[in-house]
Amino acid sequence: MSKGFTLWFTGMSGAGKSTLSEPIAERLRAAGHKVEILDGDVVRTHLSKGLSFSKEDRDINVRRIGFVSKLLARNGVVAVTAAISPYREVRDEVRQTITEDGAGFVEVYVHCPVEVLAERDVKGLYKKALAGEITSFTGVSDPYEAPVNPEVVVDSSKDSVADSVDKILEKLRTLGYLAAEKAA
């Protein structure tokens, strides 16, 4: 059985966490790994239904995602999470919980400036939040605490999806989670 680990994507809404998680999962599966994606929106619908967007409930949601990630990783599955997870303290707590069992944890910070996120936002949520029409919106009227030492940083306002995926996979190789690719 291959060794499981958690690949934790964090970043603001619309930064590209889910967009990157799909091709990463495909490439990991092609390399022989069992992979499950824990997308924040899907988890909120099925595992965390009824939680609000208060700090306490956001922390509960992140801990739930972390718990499932830990179970998957210790059973040889790569848990790819794509969740805003706005608070550094809870992300660090989840990292510690997952790694105390010997499973790996790789944090990927998907950075994107608010101005770019607002331009991309087809639902207009950033514009409403910036205008004060939505309260408690992460990165605008509620905090987003960027990671201090993530294993990987990608900037979705500058880096293509393909370049970001390659950067993340190269880091996984460097950390020993993926075998080096053989030259053709």
Share of the chain above pLDDT 70, in %: 92
In this structure, how many other beta carbons lie within 10 angstroms of the beta carbon of residue 120?
Answer: 14
Catalytic residue among 18, 21, 69, 85: 85
Residues of the chain with pLDDT under 70: 1-2, 44, 46-50, 52, 181-184
| Predicted local confidence at residue 46, as pLDDT | 67
3-state secondary structure the chain: CCCCEEEEEECCCCCCHHHHHHHHHHHHHHCCCEEEEEEHHHHHHHCCCCCCCCHHHHHHHHHHHHHHHHHHHHCCEEEEEECCCCCHHHHHHHHHHHHCCCCEEEEEEEECCHHHHHHHCCCCHHHHHHCCCCCCCECCCECCCCCCCCCEEEECCCCCHHHHHHHHHHHHHHCCCCCCCCCC
Q: Which residue ranges form the domains of the chain, and what is each CATH number? A: 5-174 (3.40.50.300)
Q: Based on the residue annotation, tell me whether 164 is a catalytic residue of this protein.
A: no
